[in-house]
Amino acid sequence: MSLVVVGSLAYDAVETPHGKVDRMLGGACTYISLAASYFTPVSIVGVVGDDFAEEDERFLASRRIDLEGMERAPGKTFFWSGVYSQDMNDRTTLATDLNVFASFSPKLPAGYKSKPYLFLGNIQPELQRSVRGQMNGVRLVGGDTMNYWIRDHRAELLKTIGEWDFLLINDGEARMLSGEYNLKRAARAILEMGPKTVIIKRGEYGALLFHGSNTFSAPGYLLDSLFDPTGAGDCFAGGFMGYLAGRNIDLSDPATDAKELSRAVIYGSVMGSFCCEQFGVDRFRTLTRAEIDQRYQEFKSLTDF
């Protein structure tokens, strides 16, 4: 069923030990919707500048992503630039030019408002909440956040995630939000803030899912070569949410198989792993659903005992 994704559309400049790209399509909304598009129809909400290339728009449309909610504003598209360390576990931001994204105020096209699935990428918590408020009868809503909102906009963030079905967060952010170092305790504390499910991303070490009293641990995929990790966390989000939407999962229905959430985490991991194999979104220019399902099976054999 149809999924609405809200977040940044951007151009990135990236340097990894494998090379350098001066300008490539990026942004959380881009990665999330590309990954999700393999599982379900996706409609995006975001803003681009007048420099946004027609070929990039065509690429998103070629993945059947609905661009009606993509606003064009005078000025430049959000631009981020960074350099990864030799082992790619750290990155240094060289530039963050918000440009048209600075005054982004997401407005949902009328046709989006009754869609059942909503993923709120990392933007100001008050904007995430305003989008949630524009939707009618959403079945499943969740999203992402970051250290800045946790530290400096805590009250607003807590009000926002209190209305979500799930929160996706990395390990450092989970510790910061909960004040607990131990991830099991951190997850428990976050579940008490409102979300019924929390997914903690641990980079190359995989991800943890906490849902009620259930815990699931997904391994990191062992890549032959990590080419460019930019967007991997967002592709995880896209695979996770795309799978749930594609399967029409309703977590409030007691008949729903709780294992579907675990499978969604594995599809998230699959999409994150593909993302790292080429620069930026390039892997999604050739990736097929058959390759995705084959890697899902690899996760099966990687964890079976």
User: What residues line the site for a copy of itself (CB under 8 A)?
Assistant: 86-87, 181-185, 202, 205-206, 208, 214-220, 222-226, 259, 262-263, 265-266, 299-305
Nearest distance in Å: CB 1, a copy of itself: 22
Q: Smallest Cα–Cα separation from 279: which of 7, 26, 98?
A: 26
Q: Which is nearer to a copy of itself, 54 or 90 (CB)?
A: 90
Tokens describing residue 148: 């800045």
- Residue 297: burial class (beta carbons within 10 Å; 0-12, 13-18, 19+): exposed
3-state secondary structure of 287: coil
Nearest distance in Å: CB 98, a copy of itself: 34
DSSP 11-72: EEEEEETTEEEEEEEE-HHHHHHHHHTTTS-EEEEEEE-TT--HHHHHHHHHTTEEEEEEEE
Those residues whose C-beta lies under 8 Å from the C-beta of residue 71, and which sit 6 or more positions away, are: 46, 47, 48, 107
Nearest distance in Å: CB 257, a copy of itself: 11
Q: Which is nearer to a copy of itself, 152 or 192 (CB)?
A: 192
- Residue 257: burial class (beta carbons within 10 Å; 0-12, 13-18, 19+): exposed
Residue 280 sits at the vertex; the CA angle it makes with 53 and 42, to the nearest 5 degrees, is: 70
Nearest distance in Å: CB 278, a copy of itself: 16
Q: Which is nearer to a copy of itself, 266 or 287 (CB)?
A: 266
Nearest distance in Å: CB 247, a copy of itself: 13
Q: Which is nearer to a copy of itself, 85 or 105 (CB)?
A: 85
Tell me the backbone φ, ψ of residue 19, rounded to 5 degrees.
150, -170
CA 253 – CA 139 distance, rounded (Å): 10
CA 170 – CA 174 distance, rounded (Å): 6
Nearest distance in Å: CB 223, a copy of itself: 7
Tell me the backbone φ, ψ of residue 56, rounded to 5 degrees.
-70, -40
Q: Which is nearer to a copy of itself, 51 or 257 (CB)?
A: 257
Q: Which is nearer to a copy of itself, 35 or 276 (CB)?
A: 276
Q: Which is nearer to a copy of itself, 115 or 283 (CB)?
A: 283
Nearest distance in Å: CB 18, a copy of itself: 12
